[in-house]
Amino acid sequence: MFSKKPKKTKPGADAGKSGKPVPEKPKTKREQIADKYQQIEDRRKAIQEELKWLENFNRNIKKQD
């Protein structure tokens, strides 16, 4: 019946898309602290996993003796 007309884009909708990377805005102090905390948590989890593995490995060696 009726055909839809294509929507017109706003003029300048593609402005700023020259292929150059957009510079990241500097992080706020709160974001910096949150990132640091997340890094510490990730490191802590990795260390816990390694500790579990080592304890299990140690247990298996003791069983062999």
Q: What is the pTM of this model?
A: 0.52
Is residue 34 scored above 80 in pLDDT?
Answer: yes
Q: Are 35 and 27 in contact (CB under 8 A)?
A: yes
* Cα 34 from chain centroid (whole Å): 13
Per-residue pLDDT reduced to its tens digit, 35-63: 999 999 999 999 999 999 999 999 999 88
Listed in sequence order, the residues at least 6 apart from 16 whose beta carbon sits closer than 8 Å to its beta carbon are 22
